[in-house]
A and B are shown apart, each in its own frame.
Chain A
Amino acid sequence: MLIPEGLKYTKEHEWIQVDGEVGIVGITDYAQNELSDIVFVELPEVGQKVAKGERVATLEAVKTVADVYSPVTGEVIEVNERLADEPDLINRDPYGDGWIVKIKIKNLDELNDLLSAEEYEKLVEEEEA
């Protein structure tokens, strides 16, 4: 299971990669493995405002459905259009081509509440146990 350093994580298994005031958001390797076989991704509109913890996308897998929650408050400035035809990019490359949205972060202080790679790994180990 991959948990790259340098990203921030949520308890709901999202990751965010921050560059300046823009954050790229996706779901973790652990989450994609739990969901398995993602067959459809419902993406937000560009320009949509989201609050921290609010649903920003929905993933339909063969067996189940899961919401993706925004790790931060802000505005959606880009969505991963490739997911429309290749939803399984999330399964194949959750931290790369399987990214979901880019968000312009309103308040960078919110990032302090998120988990480090080490903290997230601990959380997953607890869930697995």
Chain B
Amino acid sequence: MLKRTLLYDAHVKLGAKMVEFGGFEMPVQYTSILEEHRWVRSKAGLFDVSHMGEIEVTGPRALEFVSYITANDPARLDVFQVQYSAFLTEKGTFVDDILVYRLPDRFLLVVNASNTDKDFEWVKSHQFKDGVEVKNLSSDYGELALQGPVAEKVLQRITDIDLSKMGYYWAGFGKVLGKDALISRTGYTGEDGFEIYLPPSEVEEVFWKLLDMEEVKPAGLGARDTLRLEMGYCLYGNDIDETTNALEAGLKWIVGFHKPDFIGKKALLEIKEKGITRKRVGFETERRGAVPRHGQKILDADGNEIGHVTSGTFSPSLRKGIGMGYVKKEFARRGTEINIEIRNRAEKAVIVRMPFYKEGTVKK
């Protein structure tokens, strides 16, 4: 049985096409992926991301515990700062990629919808005997993402938090339409924008209020995927999973090797020592009609298999095929010419630096 977010009726009312994603029935598009994509890049798009999971960690040893179960270093966070991180297996591969919020008295770990139950069980299985409490608060939050160059201007109309003072990957408590909310300057699109956590009862009112504004249009998972892919952001289940380690995924920057201990550290140190054998890369296809897709083979110039595509799409901004995948390390250098096997044809492609789209308004 598929789950529905609180906004299911609203999506249907807006004429959304609904699809299964992460165990939820979610809107893939309201009008057109291309239109929604362009609207986010030029104005502001509103996404229902209530399917995301939230795990709360409290107690006197909360920091120590979060440090042990995540790859990145939460001790580097000030209160109200946010960090991209991951849960890793003992092998250094991904249980999930997550956001870590350091709040005044607790940590909030925001996880992928499809992994919420798995993650919660996994976190509990590593829980210290004392000093830490862990709760799955996924049903206690609704979440909206407002993304686009005018997101700050628009959201400021209905919140008392001074958004102009909120930096990238920072958060704050405040009122949205008079109701308590947690807002962070985060997102998955490459544009400036915010993620807004609300009590379930308030989500729909805020959703409609934002859509009342002429600069705001709803955007679905289809656009969310093309937007994140243009930025080279990973999607769990495609680009990273329990078979890919953090180093070959190119996510060494979220691995706190200086920490005394964390799950996966031993394996990653060994991999670091020996060197990786394959690497996540981004590529663009040469022919406009050659659109790479998840699962296709990557070949060298002579037709030998050297890897596979993990995500691919037509890029609405670049107007060509773009993709990510893993290739043998010796083919990972920028400028390397490769081929993607698309419907039994070898299509020329070249390895490029990510992000593919370089004009994003995201505040760094």
Please name all residues of chain B whose beta carbon is closer than 8 Å to the beta carbon of A91 when the two chains form the complex.
32
Tell me which of A36, A41, A65 contacts B291 (CB under 8 A): A65
Binary interface encoding of chain B residues 5-26 relative to chain A, with 1 for a CB under 8 A from any of its CBs, else 0: 0000000000001000000000
Interface status of B174 (Cβ within 8 A of chain A): no
Whether A29 sits at the interface, judged by CB under 8 Å, is: no
B34 touches A60 (CB 8 A): no
Question: Which residues of chain B from 240 to 295 have any CB-CB distance to chain A below 8 Å in the complex?
Answer: 288-289, 291, 293
The reply on A40 being an interface residue by CB < 8 A is yes
The verdict on B33 contacting chain A, using a C-beta distance below 8 Å, is yes
Evaluate contact between A36 and B33: CB separation under 8 angstroms: yes
B316 on the A face (CB < 8 A): yes
A37 to B225, CA, bound (A): 14
- Residues in A whose Cβ lies below 8 Å from that of B293: 64-65
Residue A51 is within 8 A (CB to CB) of chain B in the complex = no
Decide if A62 touches B289 in the complex (CB within 8 Å): no
Query: Are B313 and A36 within 8 A (Cβ)?
Result: no
Chain B CB within 8 A of A39 CB: yes
CA of A37 to CA of B315, assembled, Å: 12
Interfacial residues of chain A within 25-45, with CB under 8 A of chain B in the complex? 36-37, 39-42
- B32, B225, B319, most chain A CB atoms within 10 A: B32
Please give me the residue from chain B that is nearest to A41 by CB atom: B289
The one of B222, B288, B319 that contacts A63, using a Cβ cutoff of 8 Å = B222
With a cutoff of 8 Å between Cβ atoms, the chain A residues found around residue B34 in the complex are: 37, 39, 62
Q: Of B17, B288, B313, B343, which contacts A62 at CB under 8 A?
A: B313
Contacts of B288 in A (CB 8 A): 40
User: Are the C-beta atoms of A60 and B29 separated by less than 8 Å?
Assistant: no
Which residue of chain A is the closest to B225 with respect to CB atoms? Answer: A63
**Contacting B33 at CB < 8 Å: which of A37, A60, A65?**
A37
Q: Give the size category of B's interface with A.
A: 10 to 19
Closest chain A residue to B34, Cβ basis: A37
State in angstroms the CA–CA spacing of A39 and B288 once bound together: 9
Known contacts A62-B314, A63-B33, A63-B313; is-contact A40 B289 (Cβ 8 Å): yes
Give the contacting residue for B289; candidates A36, A60, A63; CB below 8 A.
A60
Nearest CB of B to A2, in Å? 16
Judge whether B50 is part of the interface by a CB distance below 8 angstroms.
Answer: no
- Which B residues lie within 8 Å of A62 (CB)? 33-34, 222, 226, 313-314, 316
- CB of A110 to closest CB in B, whole Å: 27
State which residues 141-186 of B face A: CB under 8 Å: none
Contact of B314 among A39, A41, A42, A58 (CB under 8 A): A39
Query: Within the complex, which residue of A37, A40, A60, A65 is in contact with B32, where a contact is CB–CB below 8 Å?
Result: A37
Residue of B nearest to A61 (CB): B314
Q: CB within 8 A of A36: which of B32, B225, B316, B319?
A: B32
Closest CB of chain A to B73's CB: distance in Å? 37
Query: Which of B225, B314, B316, B319 contacts A60, CB < 8 Å?
Result: B314
The residue in chain A whose Cβ has the minimal distance to the Cβ of B222 is A63
**CA gap between A65 and B293 in the complex, in Å:** 9
CA distance A36 to B29 in the complex (A): 9
Chain A residue numbers with a CB within 8 Å of B226 are 62
Please provide the chain A residues from 62 to 79 with a CB less than 8 Å away from any CB of chain B in the complex.
62-65
Interface centre among B29, B314, B319, B343 (most CB of A within 10 A): B314
Task: List the B side residues contacting A63 at CB < 8 Å.
Answer: 28, 33, 222, 225, 313
Contact B289 A42 (CB under 8 A): yes
Query: Hey, which chain A residues are within 8 Å of B225, CB to CB?
Result: 63
In the bound assembly, the distance between CA atoms of A78 and B17 in angstroms comes to 34
8 additional contacts (CB under 8 A) given A37-B33, A62-B226: A37-B32, A39-B319, A41-B289, A60-B314, A61-B314, A62-B33, A62-B222, A65-B343
Those 3 A-B pairs whose CB atoms lie nearest each other, nearest first: A40-B289, A39-B314, A62-B33
Report 20 cross-chain contacts, Cβ distance below 8 Å, ordered by A residue.
A36-B29, A36-B32, A39-B314, A39-B319, A40-B288, A40-B289, A40-B291, A42-B289, A58-B289, A58-B343, A60-B289, A62-B33, A62-B34, A62-B226, A62-B313, A62-B316, A63-B28, A63-B33, A63-B222, A65-B291
